[in-house]
Amino acid sequence: LKAYGLDNSRRQILLALKSNDNASISDLSKTLISKISTTTKIVHRLEYEGLVETMNCKIDGRFTRVKLT
């Protein structure tokens, strides 16, 4: 992943999703021991780069699910 120019936080999220695809941002935040707002910013950057896809939970719109593309 380093060859693709990913920093440590983005690598950690991608590795977390590899073992737990379709995780919520809250789950990723707990795994990375970071604030939800920080995790959200990183996920949006990964989404912009086309590495992940996000979708709002149909049952509870407050939750956003993240999966690898």
- pLDDT tens for 7-59 read 888 999 999 999 988 899 999 999 889 999 999 999 999 999 999 999 988 88
Angle 27-30-31 (CA atoms, 0-180°, nearest 5)?
85
Q: pTM here? A: 0.86
Q: Which two tokens stand for residue 3?
A: 């060859």
* DSSP state letter for 51: S
What is the distance, to the nearest Å, from the Cα of residue 44 to the centroid of all Cα atoms in its chain? 8
* DSSP state letter for 24: E
Angle between helices 36-48 and 25-32 (to 10 degrees): 110
Confidence check: pLDDT of 4 > 80: no
